[in-house]
Amino acid sequence: MEFFESRLMSNPSNEPNRCEEFLCDVLIIGGGPAGSTAAALLAEKGHRVTLLEKERHPRFHIGESLLPANLPLFERLGVLEEVQAIGMRKWGAEFVSPWHDHHQSFEFADAWDRSMPSAFQVRRSEFDRILIDNAHRKGAKVVQGCRVRQVDLSESQGARIQAEHGDGCCQSWRTRFVVDASGRDTFLGNRLKAKHRNPKHNSSAVYGHFRGARRHEGMKEGHITIFWFAHGWFWFIPLSDGATSVGMVTWPHYLKTRLGSLRDFFFENVAECRVLAERLAQAELISEVEVTGNFAYVCDRSYGTNYLLLGDAYAFIDPIFSSGVMLAMNSAFAGAEAIDTCLRCPERAASALAEFDRVMTHGPKTFSWFIYRITNPTLRNLFMAPRNVFRVKQAILSVLAGDIFGKTPIWGSIRIFKAIYYISALATPVRSIRGWLRRKANIRYVGDTLEMEER
């Protein structure tokens, strides 16, 4: 029997509790940006693809701010016009610091590569549905409301997956390759005991959506604004339907100090951030205030002989640079190439998977240097007073735009920027040591935030 035959009659007697079994070349767990992108690309390449999504689209998700580097990926997928139709045009980013008497804006058009001057802010429910519908149009079999329960990666010709539908119906698949795009569920990472808390970072987010928040005018209307405050930072993301996403990213130990409701805690901290409070003074909260657990984790591998991990299923650090969707989609492009090579040219599988791993580690490593230091006074001062000596500002803007995987020659200037940072830190040793000690205390592990909130 050919492996890519679509179905096996494994239960001819219709016995209860037996799973009907199917076959496919690639089975993808998760229908977010990474999973849907990989499904579309692999189906285009002629592979028989099944995508299993535990929920049904549209469904709510945070992470509404995209990067300019997303746009070439949308074009390659053929969805740019659909995304543009739902998006708020984003030309740049604004940083606001209570320790400075001015606001600092960055325009993506001033980056090293001027061909990507803008991005979009999107409702993730609409955006994710565009991507998963595109995967279906390209030929992937999309199964929603179907939660993967078991995985066996020891099959001689691939793997076996067992999943359960919302009505309790069980189905299983034999597949040549498994893709974990389950996001922060980290399905394979948990089962392979490959997921580890990131000891270098630790943050949680509390967020809600508002109507009537005061926005900037003109081209800055769609800017994402980052507000530093004493216990972390806030995001302010305008959406095209008039709503604004506002979230507080803070240290879990600080979140643990709250005494009242989550809503009260959120607004108490908004009040401490004067500029943000002014922009929300006439706004109405139109959602519940929600919390997400500890952000920072990484898996100790990105692939095996018959599986790989994409996007947040591999690692996540912090959302301050809006890198999540871009890294997820880019990992899907790299993963689709690797899987195609593995299935068509097994003799080249090792080198293809090694190249995939290089891509997977490069993104988080690049952003993490900045994320680990973003609340440090030295880096904050450099962001609030940028200079373009040796094209340093252009290189930083390229990173903020997500232009880190192509041939844009930013890396020499990035090294110079890091040298400026270290020299500036050495020039103010007392402040630097205090900042380092404060961060060390802030990232200490205090248990899972979601479990804490449930208690």
Q: How far apart are the first and last CA of the chain?
A: 53
Q: Domain count of the chain?
A: 2
Query: Which DSSP letter does residue 410 get?
Result: -
Q: Look at residues 21, 107, 126 and name the one whose alpha carbon lies nearest to residue 393.
A: 107
- Secondary structure element (H or E) that encloses residue 452, with its range: helix 449-454
Strand pairing report for 204-211 and 224-229: unpaired
In a domain, 84, yes or no: no
The reply to whether 101 and 151 lie within a common domain is no
136 and 267 share a domain?
A: no
Distance of alpha carbon 72 from the chain centroid: 17
Separation of alpha carbons 318 and 280, rounded Å: 24
Co-location of 133 and 184 in the same domain: yes
- Classify residue 434: in a domain, yes or no: yes
| Same domain (yes/no): 45, 107 | no
Residue 83 in any domain: the answer is no
CB 49 within 8 A of CB 140: yes
Question: Of 365, 383, 412, which residue sits at a domain end?
Answer: 365
Instruction: Write out residues in the chain with pLDDT < 50, as ranges.
Output: 1-16, 451-452, 454-455
273 located within any domain: yes
The two three-digit tokens of residue 18, written as one number: 């037996």
User: Per DSSP, what are the bridge partners of residue 104?
Assistant: 95
Give residue 110's pLDDT. 97
Q: Are residues 66 and 146 in the same domain?
A: yes
Query: Distance (Å, rounded) from C-alpha 205 to C-alpha 130?
Result: 26
Is the domain of 346 the same as that of 389?
no
Q: Let me know if residue 2 belongs to a domain.
A: no
Answer whether residue 1 is part of any domain: no
Three-class secondary structure of residue 44 per DSSP:
helix
Task: Please indicate, yes or no, if residue 82 is contained in any of the structural domains.
Answer: no
Instruction: Give me 352's structure tokens.
Output: 């293809």
Report the alpha-carbon angle 64-67-73, nearest 5: 105
Same domain, 18 and 64: yes
Which of the listed residues 365, 386, 411 is the one where a domain comes to its end? Answer: 365
Single-letter code of the amino acid located at 380: R
What whole-number distance in Å separates Cα of residue 381 and Cα of residue 440? 20
| Statement to judge: residues 68 and 164 lie in one domain | yes
CATH number at residue 435: 3.30.9.100
Q: CA torsion angle for 313, 250, 221, 122 (degrees, to 10)?
A: 20
Are 336 and 42 spatial neighbours (Cβ–Cβ below 8 Å)? Answer: yes
Helix (H) or strand (E) holding 128: helix 124-137
Do 215 and 230 share a structural domain? yes
Task: Residue 132: name the closest of 169, 166, 67, 181 by CA.
Answer: 181
Asked if 258 and 350 sit in the same domain, the reply is no
Helix (H, G, I), strand (E, B) or coil at 38: helix
Angle of the 33-44 helix axis to the 324-344 helix axis, nearest 10: 30
**Cβ pair 332, 320 in contact under 8 A:** no
Note the pLDDT of residue 2.
40
Residue 418 lies inside a defined structural domain of this protein: yes
215/315 same-domain check: no
**216 and 290, same domain (yes or no):** yes
Q: How confident is the model over 304-356, as pLDDT tens digits?
A: 999 999 999 999 989 999 999 999 999 999 999 999 999 999 999 999 999 99
The per-residue pLDDT for 156 is 75
DSSP, collapsed to helix, strand or coil, labels residue 390 as: helix
Domain that holds residue 180: 7-77+123-198+296-365
Q: Which of 315, 335, 365 is the last residue of a domain?
A: 365
Domain of 335, CATH number, reads 3.50.50.60
Give residue-wise pLDDT tens across range 371-418: 999 999 999 999 999 999 999 999 999 999 999 999 999 999 999 999
What contacts 24+ positions apart, CB below 8 Å, involve 344-348?
none
